[in-house]
Amino acid sequence: MLNEIKEVIKIREYAAVFALIFATTFLIYFALLLNSATGIIDFKGYYIYFDILSSITISFLLSLVITINIYAYRIRAKTSKGFSLGSIIGAILPSSLCCTSIIPSIMALVGFSTPFIVGNTGKIQSVFAIYGPAFIAAGAFIAFLGLIQITKSISSGCKLDSNKCCEVKNEDKN
Amino acid sequence: MRIKIKYIAYAAIVLISLSLILHFLSISSAKTSRYLAVGDTAPNYSFQLINGSTENISSYRGKPLLLWFVTTWCSGCAQGNTVLANNLAFFEEHGVKIIELEQYDDLGYSGMPISQFISEYGENNTYVQGGSAGYNMTIAYNTPPTLQLDIYYLIGPNGKILYMGEGLSSELNEIENTIIKEGL
């Protein structure tokens, strides 16, 4: 897996894509996690370190997966969009569903009564608040699975040579 | 399996997008008469403090009051306690009482007791008074469907709402500016 990652990142164009995606996703995740104080219930005053670490981990893995997906798409290898989306959703869920009025709004839309909403919204929202770190860990794990899948896919395909042409490694696959 | 993940992911994105649209529509409809607004008289409800005494909003007339509704499992509310604890001197100096009320039944999931919540995240301060609100008070100040976990009201000495918002930790500056602007 490391060899495939090195193979892609050593191409300047992909290194730039990786750096750009990493910087953007890190800023977004960090702002999102910090704003919703994700992890404060479990880690108290140390939650900021958790948020930094989570943002770095998720952004790093996700940037790699997306960059290698772009590479895989170019060389017509199998991509892993599902894992990328799964990872994004897993990482965003706690901050978007825990502390906003999205859940009660959905309950109202579905037609639940006010007493039901008041008495039950916490049962759903608390899951995202209390298990926020677990959702983030799941997001990172899904991104890691995506990374394994996509590197396997490109290693069985071909790699781009210095002229950005597909250098066939295994003729059966092409 | 891959197809399933793909469709689940798409469905989740559609659901989150729809929810966000609904969320913003709900917030814009919060200007209707069902919701409290700045300038309204704060509805008078009674609530129970940690020490067991029952108080009501009207008993705070003559003093500015920051009335804050929380749930004790909410991370934003925990953060709000820490931020507030670091700014208590300002509120003490301006004579603003702070009442932090656990919403009715903690909105369905029982977190830690409100006294422990204030103490643990509010750096053991004794200035913020904790208590719990009943069902009617909760929905009067936090009307569904825009049910917030963390909603607050700055109430003037005359009982009128001077400022209100959601997410106290990120809006403390605005609250302090209003206190200064109103000459409290």
Q: Where are the domains of chain A?
A: 2-161
- A67 alpha carbon, distance to own chain's centre: 12
Higher pLDDT, A77 or A31: A31
Token pair, residue A3, equals 């060899």
Average pLDDT for A127-155 = 85
Would you place residue B31 in the very low, low, confident or very high pLDDT band (cuts 50, 70, 90)? Answer: very low
| Mean model confidence pLDDT for chain A | 81
Q: Do B107 and A130 touch (CB under 8 A)?
A: no
User: Closest Cα of chain B to A23: distance in Å?
Assistant: 23
User: Is the reported ipTM for this assembly greater than 0.85?
Assistant: no
- Candidates B137, B151, B148; CA nearest to B54 is B137
Q: How confident is the model at residue A135, as a pLDDT?
A: 87
Segment B135-167, tens digit of pLDDT: 999 999 998 777 888 999 999 999 999 999 988
Segment A87-137, tens digit of pLDDT: 777 777 777 777 777 888 888 877 888 888 888 888 988 888 888 888 888
Q: Is A82 helix (H, G, I), strand (E, B) or coil?
A: helix
The answer to whether B149 and A125 have CB atoms below 8 angstroms apart is: yes
Higher pLDDT, A165 or A10: A10
Residue A147's identity, in one-letter code, is: L
Closest residue to A101, CB basis, from B2, B106, B147: B147
| Euclidean distance between CA atoms A130 and A145, whole angstroms | 25
- Which residues in chain A are contacts of B135 at CB distance < 8 A? 115, 118
Q: How far is CA B64 from CA B33, B92, B163, B178, in A?
A: 24, 11, 11, 11
Q: Do B144 and A45 touch (CB under 8 A)?
A: no
Q: By CA distance, what is A112's nearest residue in B?
A: B145
Q: How confident is the model at residue B65, as a pLDDT?
A: 97
Given a cut of 70, whether residue A159 has pLDDT beyond it is no
**A35 burial via Cβ count (<10 Å: 0-12, 13-18, 19+):** middle
Closest residue to A117, CB basis, from B120, B147, B150: B147
- Tell me the H-state helices in B35-96: 75-85, 88-93
At a CB cut-off of 8 Å and minimum separation 6, what does A167 contact? A158, A159, A160, A161
User: Closest Cα of chain B to A98: distance in Å?
Assistant: 8
Segment B43-100, tens digit of pLDDT: 999 999 999 999 999 999 999 999 999 999 999 999 999 999 999 999 999 999 999 9
| Mean model confidence pLDDT for chain B | 88
Would you place residue A35 in the very low, low, confident or very high pLDDT band (cuts 50, 70, 90)? Answer: confident
Q: b vs e for B139-165, b when ≥16 Cβ sit within 10 Å of the residue's Cβ?
A: bbbbbbbbbbbbbbbbbbeebebbbbb
The verdict on whether omega for the bond into residue B145 sits within 30 degrees of 0, i.e. cis, is: yes
Residue with tokens 């825009």, as numbered in its chain: B146
Closest residue to A36, CB basis, from B76, B104, B146: B76
Q: Do A40 and B135 touch (CB under 8 A)?
A: no
